[in-house]
Amino acid sequence: MKLSGHLRDNIRRLEAVYSNCADLIFHDLLVGGHTPAVLVYFEGLIRLDELDQHVVAPLRDGPGPDQGLEAIRHRTTVASVKTVATIDELVDEINGGRPVLLVDGHASALVFGLSDWEQRSVEEPAAESVLRGPREGFVETIRTNISLLRRRIRSPKLKVVTLKLGTRTNTPVAVIYLEDVASPSLVREVMSRLKRIEIEDVLETAYIEEWIEDNRYSPFPQLLSTERPDVASAYLMEGHVIIMVDGTPTVLVAPITFFALLQTPEDYYERYVVGTAIRWLRYLFFAISLLGPSLYVAVVTFHQEMIPTTLMLTMARSREQIPFSALMEAVLMETMFEALREAGARLPKQIGSAVSIVGALVIGQAAISAGIVSAPMVMVVAITGIASFMAPRYTIGIPIRLLRFPIMFLAGMMGLLGVMLGVIVILNHLLNLRSFGVPYMSPLAPLEGRGLKDVLWRAPRWMLNRRAKR
């Protein structure tokens, strides 16, 4: 709907749209001392000082009457000014926190880019800390986040495409990619998937993640989320696309592979020998975190001959007075452990330590002396717990924690055969999975020789950099 030439009408319409919005300010002023005008803005979303200094003050002795909107615009000393002519646009701008000037006798309004609001400063992300490497993390403001990427990749090829998602929240979303590195079809696919989203609100990237995944029923994440601009930049350099949402420090990377979820920035910041060793350790413990308790249950209930005799005798002695089967024991302890972890994660730091003390008692000596679980079981659960903490990304740790339980039951029912069955089912699923068309298990399946040097080991930097010469 077009704006009318009468200030009264426009204001009345705006007041109708924003009924009961106490924080919306209508500021009357007389341009040049004769033409009535109104500044409309949300309190707290603008830079009030600058509005006073660069808009209100110059206009007070502003241009003479009947000089047109253009003259008023030139009178102000604001760098970002644009003109809008419809009520809907006007509402958008006001919602975005930009002050708007309506002048009597003009069927359009001026928008000043003076939005500003309270925001967290750039800090080290708590979930992804490193010993060596940049300590900056994304914040809740998309503008700041894009600037953090711009500062790392100073190239005009870094493209930022913005759109608004959420029919009610109108959240700005940015798709960022390197033009000559990312494949154009990938960018097109990301954009088209984003545009297909029908959603009322976008409060976190997770809201859109579930919409654009390839397989919506998989427990495995098909997009990588990170709070680190250096990680995001590294993925941009490899041709991935970053999806950013205003209001959250987490950004999404697409497409990704299974192995990307098992990497940390430090793999690349440490020397490659160390990086490789730590990566192998991580793979090993990843397997343990999935299979640890199941293997124990299988061996103890079905394959006793696999245990060295001396250990077997000690284990038999320690299990002698346990009322439960090994499977029950394992399920019990694993459930306890998951509960403790969840309790610890949600509690404030001061109470958290109390939980860990209680936890140490529950999963520990007290549980053994109470005769509820055996000592080897406690060890297995503890090792599995440590192993699951080694998952570098929380999102890959969760499905593994979850899948541990069905495999445990399979192990209790069929021994190693059951474990194998479970692993085959999971592998089957992983091999079928795709992230934006890229096979999830690549470069291992389908096998791609060149990619393996960043999966089987972390090849030294001079071997990884193959695009530099171009």
Partner 1 sequence: MRRLALLLVLLPLCLLPVGGCWNAREVNDLAIITAAGIDRTEDGRIELSVKIYLTSPTGSDGGQMSGQPSSDKGTLVVRSATGINMADAASRLQKMVSRTVFWGQTEVFLFGERMARAGLEEPMDFLMRHIASRERSLVFVSERTAKDVMLLAPPIDRSVAEALIAMAEHQTGPNITLKELAQMLVGKSGAAVLPIVRINPVRDKQAAFPYIEGTAVFKDGRMIGELNEQATRGVMWLRNEMKQATVTVTPDDSGGYVSLHLLRNHTRLLPRIEDGRWIMIVRITGQDDIVENTTALDLSEPDHIGKVEEALERLVEDRVKYALELAQKEYRADIFRFADAFWRKYPKIWKANADRWDEIFPEVEVRLEPDLRIARPGLVGKNFFRREQR
Binding residues for partner 1, rule: CB under 8 A, are 300-302, 304-305, 307, 309, 312-322, 325-327, 368-371, 374-375, 410, 412-415
- For residue 414, the minimal CB distance to partner 1 (Å) is 7
Output the smallest distance, CB 411 to partner 1, in A.
10
**Between residues 304 and 353, which has the closer beta carbon with respect to partner 1?**
304
Shortest CB 46 distance to partner 1, Å: 51
What are the C-alpha distances in Å from 110 to residues 37, 71, 179, 301, 375?
11, 12, 34, 77, 74
CB of 394 to partner 1, least distance (A): 29
Host H or E run for residue 166? none
Q: Which is nearer to partner 1, 274 or 427 (CB)?
A: 427
Shortest CB 13 distance to partner 1, Å = 49
**Residue whose entry in the numeric block shows the structure tokens 């302890």:** 333
| Residue with Cβ nearer partner 1 (121 or 321) | 321
Residue 404 main-chain phi, psi, to 5 deg: -55, -40
Cβ distance to partner 1 smaller for residue 106 or 319: 319
CA distances from 267 to 295, 398, 450 (A): 29, 22, 18
Give the strand pairing for 438-439 and 434-435.
antiparallel
Burial of 368 (0-12, 13-18, 19+ CB in 10 A): middle
Question: Is 108 exposed, middle or buried, given 0-12, 13-18 or 19+ CB atoms closer than 10 A?
Answer: middle
Tokens of 184: 């154009």
DSSP string, 225-255: EE--HHHHHHHHHTT-EEEEETT-S-EEEES
Q: How far is the CB of 329 from partner 1 (least distance, A)?
A: 10
Nearer to partner 1, 184 or 371 (CB): 371
Among residues 257, 294, 317, 292, which one has the least CA distance to residue 441? 257
Contact 37, 101 (CB under 8 A): yes
Q: Which is nearer to partner 1, 345 or 402 (CB)?
A: 402
Q: Which is nearer to partner 1, 181 or 368 (CB)?
A: 368
Q: Which is nearer to partner 1, 272 or 302 (CB)?
A: 302
Nearest distance from C-beta of residue 49 to partner 1, angstroms? 60
* Strand 109-112 versus strand 81-84 pairing type: antiparallel
Burial class (CB in 10 A: 0-12, 13-18, 19+), 269: middle
Taking the C-alpha atoms of residue 293 and residue 381, their distance in angstroms, rounded to an integer, is 7
Q: What is the nearest approach in angstroms of partner 1 to the Cβ of residue 382?
A: 17
**194 or 420: CB nearest partner 1:** 420
Residues 6+ apart with CB under 8 A from 310: none
Radius of gyration of the chain (CA): 30
Considering the complex, what minimum distance in angstroms separates the CB of residue 211 from partner 1? 20
